[in-house]
Amino acid sequence: MPRSLEIQTDSFPIAGTFTISRGAKTSAEVTLCTIGDGGMIGRGECVPYRRYGETLESVAAQIEAVRPLVEAGLTREELQHAMPPGAARNAVDCALWDLEAKRSASSVVARLGLLRPQPLTTAFTISLGEPEVMAAQARANADRALLKVKVGTGDDESRIRAVRLAAPDAAIILDANEGWPENALEHHLRVAAEVGVALVEQPLPAGKDELLAEIQRPVLVCADESVHHTGDLASLRDRYDAINIKLDKTGGLTEALAMKKEAQRLDFRIMVGCMVGTSLAMAPAVLLAQGVDFVDLDGPLLLARDREPGLRYAASLVWPPDAALWG
């Protein structure tokens, strides 16, 4: 009996509004891929990202295009050549991991050789806004161990200082989402260093970040939009200290694991991040994030409702997934 493939789109309201330098959103629009085989099903969720030209419709079309291959028994290794990196391949890849685990009566944890995956300290995101609004968000979450603060304007000093004052004990990641103009870069990095920021993420636009190789970087700088898959890494060594691995960029856990290994070989610091999605999208990323330097898997915490069952979150910690959710 051939495999079955189902494609479903879902919308999950965000608690409030999620705002970055490119705009605001009030819901997370996700695609669910379900692959059935022999009475077992595997699930994978992806979040199409317009920054990369993806929509719910385009992702569904990409998955639909490989339906004959999936139903004929496509493997994860074959999938890497059948689809390009991106959200669509992520949904299929993670569904295949989940299906393999269920069919083998094993678990993804066992298949990865993780003896005892641990709960991880995840960042919690502070949306971009006026300094006093961001300070209020930071103050309400000042007991969290790690805050990821969205910036990305030509004048972010007041935002950086306001958040640090409101959350004096939290470690802070600044995420500019490509939004800092070149003439503000060095100033903002100096301010970040002065207030003890741990990491600055993607300050300049992808493809226009050469300046990072020419200046002194007083804070660790992390590539996000500039890095998608393993082949990108070698060209970034002169301008970035860290990379952000996201399953929706790499096209799934299979490529993300290879990317993590190569990034470690090249001495990059590693963040495992996410788009705004549900616990189903975060679950494989929690396993990928074991042992990395920074974890940003707070997507479900930003939603008004999550999938059931979901991941366990408490304070700043997120636990590995139970088999009922994924893997």
pLDDT digit string, tens, across residues 76-98: 999 999 999 999 999 999 999 99
Confidence tier at 10 by pLDDT (50, 70, 90): very high
* pLDDT tens digits for range 126-148: 999 999 999 999 999 999 999 99
Q: For a pLDDT cut of 70, what percent of the chain falls above it?
A: 100
* pLDDT tens digits for range 202-221: 999 999 999 999 999 999 99
* pLDDT tens digits for range 247-268: 999 999 999 999 999 999 999 9
The residue behind tokens 């898997």 is 297
The answer to whether 269 and 220 are in contact (CB under 8 A) is yes
At residue 22, does pLDDT exceed 80?
no
Give the pLDDT score at 244: 98
Give the pLDDT score at 24: 79
* pLDDT tens digits for range 27-67: 999 999 999 999 999 999 999 999 999 999 999 999 999 99
What is the spatial distance between Cα 148 and Cα 162, in angstroms, rounded to a whole number? 14
For residue 49, the one-letter residue type is Y
Give the pLDDT score at 252: 98
* pLDDT tens digits for range 268-326: 999 999 999 999 999 999 999 999 999 999 999 999 999 999 999 999 999 999 999 99
Q: How far, CA to CA in Å, does 51 sit from each of 3, 30, 79, 102, 233? A: 33, 15, 24, 34, 20
Burial class from Cβ neighbours inside 10 Å (0-12, 13-18, 19+) for residue 44 reads buried
Give the pLDDT score at 18: 87
Give the pLDDT score at 153: 94
What is the spatial distance between Cα 7 and Cα 11, in angstroms, rounded to a whole number? 14
What is the spatial distance between Cα 275 and Cα 31, in angstroms, rounded to a whole number? 12
Confidence tier at 17 by pLDDT (50, 70, 90): confident
Name the nearest CA neighbour of 223 among 212, 126, 62: 212
The residue behind tokens 């920021």 is 197
Q: Which two tokens stand for residue 314?
A: 């408490």
Domains of the chain: 4-105 (3.30.390.10), 120-318 (3.20.20.120)
Confidence tier at 225 by pLDDT (50, 70, 90): very high
Phi/psi of residue 50, each to 5°? Answer: -65, -25
Phi/psi of residue 235, each to 5°? Answer: -75, -10
Phi/psi of residue 253, each to 5°? Answer: -70, -35
* pLDDT tens digits for range 93-122: 999 999 999 999 899 999 999 989 999 999
At residue 16, does pLDDT exceed 90?
no
Give the pLDDT score at 115: 84
What is the spatial distance between Cα 199 and Cα 42, in angstroms, rounded to a whole number? 36
Q: Which two tokens stand for residue 1?
A: 């009996």
The helix or strand, by DSSP H or E, that contains position 42, with its residue range, turns out to be strand 40-46
**Enzyme catalytic residues:** 150, 246
At residue 242, does pLDDT exceed 80?
yes
Confidence tier at 19 by pLDDT (50, 70, 90): confident
The answer to whether 60 and 9 are in contact (CB under 8 A) is yes
**Phi-psi domain of 178 (left: phi exceeds 0; alpha: psi -120 through 50; beta: other):** left
Q: What SS3 state is found at 304?
A: coil
